[in-house]
Amino acid sequence: MQLLSERRRDGRHPAPAGCPADGAPIRLPLRQLRADLLGTQQALVKEHDGFARYQVLRRVFTLVASADANQQMFVLAPRNYRRGRHYDNLALVIGRGLICSEGADWERQRRLAQPAFDRALMARVVEITGALTTELLARWDQAGRRGEQVDLLDDMEELALRVIGMALFSRDMTTDRHTAADGTVTVTANCFTEARRYGAAVVFRRNISPVVLPLWIPGKVNRRFRRALAGVDRFVYEQIDQRLADGGGPDDILGELIRAYGDRAPALRRDLRDQVVTLFFAGFETTAVALAWTWLLLSQHPEAEARFHAELDSVLGGRAPTVEDVKSLRYTNQVIHESLRMYPPVYGMTRKAAADDLIGGHQIRRGDDLVIPIHALHHMAQYWAEPGAFCPERFTAGRLTQAQRSAYLPFSFGKRRCLGATFATVEMLTVLAVAGQRVRLRHDPGCPVVAVPAVTQRPAGGLRMRVEARS
Ligand code: HEM
C-alpha cells in the first residue's frame, strides 16, 4: 500500500503503480480505444492491478477499478467525485435532470422523483410489460411459422420503448404521432430514437475534441440533432401542459411528478421536461440491450435455460406474472444479475475529482478525470471465479462477498444508484416470464456475436435469433 506518509524527500509521491517509473501516463492511440475500448480497459486493469493513468490525444485519464475504490468514490466520499465534462455534454441532450445534476439541485430532484418509483408503479410495469410482450409473441408466432428469424435487439428496443412511453406518459409512442414546427407529421418514437442517435454523436465529439464548437454550427449531425431534439421537446412540453391543465392526469410517472411538484409545477416546466427526458433515455436502451444479452446467454446455456423454464412452470404454471411473483422467481432474478455482470449495458462511468484523495493506496489529485470501467470490474479474477463463465448460481441469496457487492456496478452504487434499478429488473423479469413460458430463442453458433461499446454495450449489427415454440 502506498500511504501519504511515504512521500519522498523532495515532497513528491512515488510514481503510482499503473504508470511508467517517471510517473508519465501511458500513451494510448485513439484508434486503439476506438477499435477495442473494452479489451484495452480490461488489459490495463489486469496489467496495472486496477489502477492506471493513460493519455489519449492531449487528455489524461485515471482508470480506477477495485471494490475499495468504489466504496470510497460512491459511499464514503461521494462529494469528492463530481460529474465532469461528459455529463455537461450529455446535458445538451437530456438536460440537467437526475443524471446530469449535482449537490442540492440533485437532492431536490431525487426527493421529488423517488416516490413515483413505488410498488404501485412496479405493479403497473408488470401489467404493461406483460400485455406488450404478449403482443410481441403473436408477431413471433407468425415469424416462427414462416421459418423467419427475428432481430431480437430491434424487438427488445421496440418493446422497452413502448413500456417506458406507457409508464411515463400512458402513451404508445410507436403509434403516437405529432406535428413538427414545419408542419410535417412524425411518429413520436422516431424523434426520440433520432435524438438518441445524433445526440450520441454530438456528445462523443465533444468528449474527445480539444475545442468545443457550438451546436448552431452547420453540419449534418448538428442539424439532425437540433431537429430531433425540437421534436422531443415539442412532444414533452405538450404532455406537461395538458397535465398541468388537469391536475396531473393519470397515475403514470409524469402524473406523479406533477403532483409531487405541486403549486411549483407550472413555474418548473423546464425542470419537469429534464426529469422525464432523462428517465426516458436512461430507461429504454439500457433495459433493451440487457434483455437481448439475457436471451442470448440463455440460448447458449441449456442447463440454465432448463432451470429457468422449470422455475416458470412451477411458480406460474402457465399464468401471467403479477408483482407478487417478482421475488418468487429467484432463479430468473439470478439469471438477470449474472447477465448484467457479463454484459453491463452501462459499461463504464466517469467522474472528476473535486479534491485530493487517496484510494486503494493511490494518490488522486484534484481535477483528475477518473474512469470507472464497469465491464472490466465485472471480469476481474480477484472478485469473480472464472469471470468469463455464465453462472447465475453466483447470485444465490447470501453467497456474494462484501468485496463482490462493491465490485458489482450495473446500476452504480451508493446514494446515486440508478433510480430505475427495480423498474428495469421487474420489466426484464416480466418479459422473460411471459415469453419464456411460451418460446425459446435460438442463435446460430456459427455467427459470432461481438459486443460494441456504443451509448450502451450492445451486440454489433443486431442479434438474429430463431423463435421455437416450447412444447
Ligand atoms: C438494465 C437497465 C439499466 C441499467 C443497466 C442502468 C444503469 C444505470 C447506471 C450505471 C446509472 C449511474 C449513472 C452515472 O452515475 O453516471 C444509472 C442512473 C440512473 N438511472 Fe438507470 N439503468 C437502467 C435502467 C433505468 C430505468 C428503467 C430508469 C428509469 C425508468 C433509470 C433511471 C436512472 C436515473 C434517473 C439515474 C440517475 C440516478 C441519480 O443520479 O440520482 N435507469 N442507471
pLDDT at residue 263, as a whole number: 93
Best-predicted range by mean pLDDT among 16-25, 87-96, 112-121, 194-203?
112-121
pLDDT band at 19 (very low <50, low <70, confident <90, very high): low
- 213 and 346 in a single domain? The answer is no
Q: Which atom of ligand 1 is nearest to the CA of 350?
A: 16
- 331 and 453 in a single domain? The answer is yes
71 domain residue, yes or no: yes
422 lines ligand 1 (CB under 6 A): no
Bigger pLDDT: 158 or 361? Answer: 158
Q: Which residues are within 8 A (CB) of 301 and not within 5 positions of it... i.e. 6 or more apart?
A: 390
- 124 and 247 in a single domain? The answer is yes
How confident is the model over 124-136, as a mean pLDDT?
98
Q: Choose the final residue of a domain: 283, 303, 327.
A: 283
For the domain that residue 341 is a member of, what is the CATH number?
1.10.630.10
* Cβ atoms of 39 and 32 closer than 8 Å: no
The pLDDT of residue 425 is above 70: yes
Minimum CA distance residue for ligand 1 atom 9:
411
* Alpha-carbon gap, residue 421 to 343, rounded angstroms: 16
- 109 and 186 in a single domain? The answer is no
Q: Which residues pair with 54 in a beta bridge?
A: 26, 61
279 lines ligand 1 (CB under 6 A): yes
The helix (H) or strand (E) run that includes residue 41 is helix 30-47
Q: Which residues pair with 177 in a beta bridge?
A: 187
Minimum CA distance residue for ligand 1 atom 38:
418
pLDDT band at 4 (very low <50, low <70, confident <90, very high): very low
- 182 and 317 in a single domain? The answer is no
DSSP string covering 358-406:
EETTEEE-TT-EEEE-HHHHTT-TTTSSSTTS--GGGGSTT-S-HHHHH
Q: Choose the final residue of a domain: 244, 265, 283.
A: 283
- 253 and 332 in a single domain? The answer is no
Number of domains in the chain: 2
Termini Cα distance of the chain: 58
pLDDT mean across residues, the chain: 91
373 lines ligand 1 (CB under 6 A): no
198 domain residue, yes or no: yes
pLDDT band at 6 (very low <50, low <70, confident <90, very high): very low
- 444 and 315 in a single domain? The answer is yes
- 69 and 206 in a single domain? The answer is no
282 lines ligand 1 (CB under 6 A): yes
Q: What's the predicted TM-score (pTM) here?
A: 0.94
* Cβ atoms of 231 and 183 closer than 8 Å: no
- Classify 56 as helix, strand or coil: strand
188 domain residue, yes or no: yes
* Alpha-carbon gap, residue 176 to 104, rounded angstroms: 36
388 domain residue, yes or no: yes
Q: Choose the final residue of a domain: 283, 311, 333.
A: 283
- 137 and 199 in a single domain? The answer is yes
- 395 and 259 in a single domain? The answer is no
Q: For residue range 320-363, what is the model confidence (pLDDT) as tens digits?
A: 999 999 999 999 999 999 999 999 999 999 999 999 999 988 99
449 domain residue, yes or no: yes
94 domain residue, yes or no: no
| C-alpha cell read off for 277 | 427526458
pLDDT at residue 8, as a whole number: 34
Q: Which atom of ligand 1 is nearest to the CA of 164?
A: 30
- 407 and 449 in a single domain? The answer is yes
* Strand bridging mode 369-372 / 59-64: parallel
* Alpha-carbon gap, residue 316 to 68, rounded angstroms: 41
Q: Which atom of ligand 1 is nearest to the CA of 374?
A: 10
Ligand 1 centre and the CA of 419: distance in Å? 6
231 lines ligand 1 (CB under 6 A): no
Q: Which range marks the domain in which residue 348 is found?
A: 4-87+104-117+284-469
- Nearest alpha-carbon partner for 420 in 288, 297, 287: 287
208 domain residue, yes or no: yes
Q: For residue range 365-377, what is the model confidence (pLDDT) as tens digits?
A: 999 999 999 999 9
96 domain residue, yes or no: no
pLDDT band at 20 (very low <50, low <70, confident <90, very high): low
- 127 and 240 in a single domain? The answer is yes
